[in-house]
Every structure is written in structure tokens, then in C-alpha cells.
């Protein structure tokens, strides 16, 4: 019994077809059949019940399938980690981030470059919770700075700092004349909100719900820059992270803070717990944590 035989077996079960599995594996169907027969001879049990119409797992096959999937996944992780060890010499650090970190991430990178000047850093936006988990688990990123609350056994999530969501209005909007603005004042305004799956959307809706307010959602966006463009035309209002506005050059926008703890949230540094961590990656993680101490 070897890994190739197990991968063939898993492919057949996943497709429930010898022909489709053979096509996927780029081998002939007779070769695939012979490999499964050899596997059955090795373990001494029939693992597939074949008939003219269907393929079904035997009891032994069902047990073997579960073990094989787990073993092949572990081998895939080993391969990725060995590839990563080989790539250390090329100096690649792949980081995921949310939009609002742009005010501080260059400062951390500046400190980081003092110790690893030859490392090539790739920065990508990773926004939704599922994207964070998939990106880390598929080894697309070494670490991600996110506002998503990730509670998974295989992912470490370290709180970095609190971030406030603030109201953004056009300077001619009637609410700019108010001394104090509450969420209730926003109920009938055309509201701009992040799309489904984004933590900012969940935070905003939770805050409205706590106040017993139903916002009038008019626009759904994926990027804060799009929200600001809409506000600039005075066709809606929005709540976005205060940090994102620090470098905004849009002079017609007005920021207002709404006094409610529901619009405060945490930003996290996340990475896989059991993944091999190179010295370059480990240093970036430590530099980021130290920056917020």
C-alpha cells in the first residue's frame, strides 16, 4: 500500500466513477482498476463494491477512505512546508491585511527591513472571515491582520488594538449641524454598508440592533474607498474605521464620533498555529506585536 494507490482510491470515491477519476488523474481506466485491485490485495479486503451502475464503499473501504483523506492532507501539508523551507532563501513574506491598517503597516515594515532588508514582501487584501481562514490554511499567506474574530483550533488570533467605527458625512449634509449624533438619527438616511461576509457589516448591524434601529441600506460595497466616493457625492452616509480616514485627501468629508461602545472593535494578527514559521516570518509577527505594546 502506497500513497499513489490511496490517492487513486480517494479520487474514485470522490467522483464515484472509475472513468471520471481516471480522466482527473490522467491515467488509463485499466491502470486505475489494476491499482485498486493491487491495493485490495495488499490490505486483504474488498474496499469497493462494483456493479454495472454504481460504486459503493464496503465497510473496510469506508474506514480506509477516512484514513486516506487525512493522510493525504497531512502529506500535502508536509510538501507545502518543505517547499516553504526551500523558499526561505528567496526571501518571500506574504501578508494579508484589511484596508484600515495602511496608516501603521509601513512603520512596522520599516523596522522589519532593518533586520531583513532582502526579504520581498507581498501585501494582499484579505477581507472576509472565510477568506482569512482559507488563505492561511492554503498557505497563500504567512500572517493576516484582520478585524474578523477567528475562533478556530488551528488558527492563532492575537488582539492588537481597538478600532473605532466613525460616521462619515458630506460637509453639506444636514446632520453636520448636530452637536451629538446617535444611531437613531441615521435611521432614515441612505446608508452605505459593507457586503455580506465582512466583519464591518456585522459590527455596524449589531450596533444598530442594540439601539433598536433599522438602517435604510441603500448601497453595499466591498471597499471603503468606494464608500467614501459615494459620500463625497452626498448620496449616502457610512460608518467606517477611523484609522482609514487618517490619510484621506477628500476635503469635503466630515467625520463624527457616535458615543456607543458597540462601534468599537478589535483588530487581530492571525496565523496558523502548527505551521512551520521561518525566522523572517517569526520576526514580522514579533515586530507587529511589539509595535502595539
Residue pLDDT, tens place only, 191-244: 999 998 888 999 999 999 999 999 999 999 988 999 999 999 999 999 999 988
As beta bridge partners, residue 255 has: 168
pLDDT at 267: 94
Residue 85 pLDDT class (50, 70, 90 cuts): low
Q: Does residue 16 register a pLDDT over 90?
A: no
A 10 A CB-CB count for 250 gives: 14
A 10 A CB-CB count for 120 gives: 10
Nearest-Å Rg of the Cα atoms of the chain is: 26
Alpha helix (H) residue ranges in 123-234: 129-137, 199-210, 224-232
* Percentage with pLDDT > 90 across the chain: 46
How far apart (Å, rounded) are the C-alpha atoms in residues 36 and 42?
10
pLDDT at 48: 85
**Higher pLDDT, residue 184 or 1:** 184
Q: Does residue 101 register a pLDDT over 80?
A: yes
> Would you call 263 helix, strand, or coil by DSSP?
helix
Q: Average per-residue pLDDT in the chain?
A: 88
pLDDT at 80: 67
Q: Quote the pTM value.
A: 0.65
pLDDT average, residue stretch 259-273 = 92
Q: Taking Cα atoms as reference points, which of 147, 148, 155, 136 lies closest to residue 95?
A: 136
* Residue at grid coordinates 477516512: 66
pLDDT average, residue stretch 132-142 = 92
Q: Does residue 82 register a pLDDT over 80?
A: no
Say if CB 192 and CB 218 are below 8 A apart: yes
Residue 56 pLDDT class (50, 70, 90 cuts): confident
**Higher pLDDT, residue 214 or 276:** 214
DSSP class of residue 179 equals S
**Structural domains in the chain plus CATH codes:** 3-78 (1.10.10.10), 88-160+266-291 (3.40.190.10), 162-265 (3.40.190.290)
pLDDT at 89: 47
> Would you call 160 helix, strand, or coil by DSSP?
strand
Q: Which three cell numbers stand for residue 28?
A: 488509463
Q: Which three cell numbers stand for residue 238?
A: 457610512
Say if CB 137 and CB 272 are below 8 A apart: yes
How far apart (Å, rounded) are the C-alpha atoms in residues 80 and 139?
8
How far apart (Å, rounded) are the C-alpha atoms in residues 19 and 6?
17
* Residue 140, φ and ψ in degrees, nearest 5: -80, -25
How far apart (Å, rounded) are the C-alpha atoms in residues 10 and 21?
9
Say if CB 140 and CB 258 are below 8 A apart: no
Amino acid at each position: 500500500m502506497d500513497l499513489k494507490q490511496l490517492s487513486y482510491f480517494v479520487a474514485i470515491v470522490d467522483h464515484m466513477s472509475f472513468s471520471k477519476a481516471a480522466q482527473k488523474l490522467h491515467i488509463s481506466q485499466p491502470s486505475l482498476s489494476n491499482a485498486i485491485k493491487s491495493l485490495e490485495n495488499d490490505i486483504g479486503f474488498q474496499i469497493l463494491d462494483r456493479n454495472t451502475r454504481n460504486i459503493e464503499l464496503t465497510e473496510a473501504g469506508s474506514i480506509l477512505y477516512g484514513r486516506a483523506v487525512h493522510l493525504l492532507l497531512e502529506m500535502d501539508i508536509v510538501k507545502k512546508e518543505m517547499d516553504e523551507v526551500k523558499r526561505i532563501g528567496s526571501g518571500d513574506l506574504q501578508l494579508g491585511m484589511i484596508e484600515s491598517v495602511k496608516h501603521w503597516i509601513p512603520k512596522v515594515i520599516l523596522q522589519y527591513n532593518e533586520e531583513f532588508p532582502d526579504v520581498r514582501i507581498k501585501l494582499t487584501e484579505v477581507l472576509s472571515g472565510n477568506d482569512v481562514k482559507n488563505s492561511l490554511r492554503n498557505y497563500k499567506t504567512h500572517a493576516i491582520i484582520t478585524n474578523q474574530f477567528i475562533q478556530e483550533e488551528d488558527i492563532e488570533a492575537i488582539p492588537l488594538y481597538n478600532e473605532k467605527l466613525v460616521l462619515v458625512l458630506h460637509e453639506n449634509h444636514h446632520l453636520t449641524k448636530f452637536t451629538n449624533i446617535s444611531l437613531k438619527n441615521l435611521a432614515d438616511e441612505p446608508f452605505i454598508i459593507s457586503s455580506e461576509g465582512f466583519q464591518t457589516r456585522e459590527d455596524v448591524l449589531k450596533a444598530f440592533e442594540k439601539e433598536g434601529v433599522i438602517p435604510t441600506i441603500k448601497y453595499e460595497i466591498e471597499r471603503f474607498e468606494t464608500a467614501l466616493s459615494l459620500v463625497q457625492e452626498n448620496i449616502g452616509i457610512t460608518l467606517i474605521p477611523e484609522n482609514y480616514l487618517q490619510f484621506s485627501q477628500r476635503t469635503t468629508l466630515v467625520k463624527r464620533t457616535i458615543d456607543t461602545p458597540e462601534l468599537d472593535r478589535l483588530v487581530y494578527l492571525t496565523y496558523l498555529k502548527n505551521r512551520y514559521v521561518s525566522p523572517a516570518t517569526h520576526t514580522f509577527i514579533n515586530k507587529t506585536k511589539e509595535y502595539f505594546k
